Amino acid sequence: MSEKIQVPSGMLDAACRQTWANHARSQVEEIVRGALGWLSENPIVPTHTQIDAMQISCDLPVFAHHGFERICEEWQRHMFDAQEPEPPEELKKLMGMMDAYVDHAPDSPSFPRDLITEAYRLGQQSKDRP
């Protein structure tokens, strides 16, 4: 779980400034990541009074009360998730080829062979890169 938790840099800076010992930044980051992981698994659900106050400040209609509570909980659960990295262009090309195949499967009997050939070619090219 903790590998996917992203520690915001401002939070890490604040935690490093508050350490009384000379801890390495990586140690502090692991401590904060552990705390954020715990928080994402044990979200702090706002009380009804807090929800009412947020609902008023957000100008939400009364019937949105329970939906708003769920949104708050989910936001807190996922607000520190690390972003998925953007796939490389080569992979995007292969995914696009797969999408085209799904759309026109009966018209492309050679497609699986073409996709495998292109994947192999891209793999060979990647061995030549530094």
Task: Please give the Cα distance from 29 to 17 (Å, whole number).
Answer: 12
**Nearest residue to 15 via CA among 41, 34, 39, 1:** 34
Predicted model pTM: 0.49
Q: What would the pLDDT profile of 12-66 be if each residue is shown by its tens digit?
A: 999 988 887 767 888 999 999 999 989 888 887 777 877 777 667 666 665 566 6
What is the rounded CA–CA span in Å between residue 17 and residue 126? Answer: 43
pLDDT band at 1 (very low <50, low <70, confident <90, very high): very low
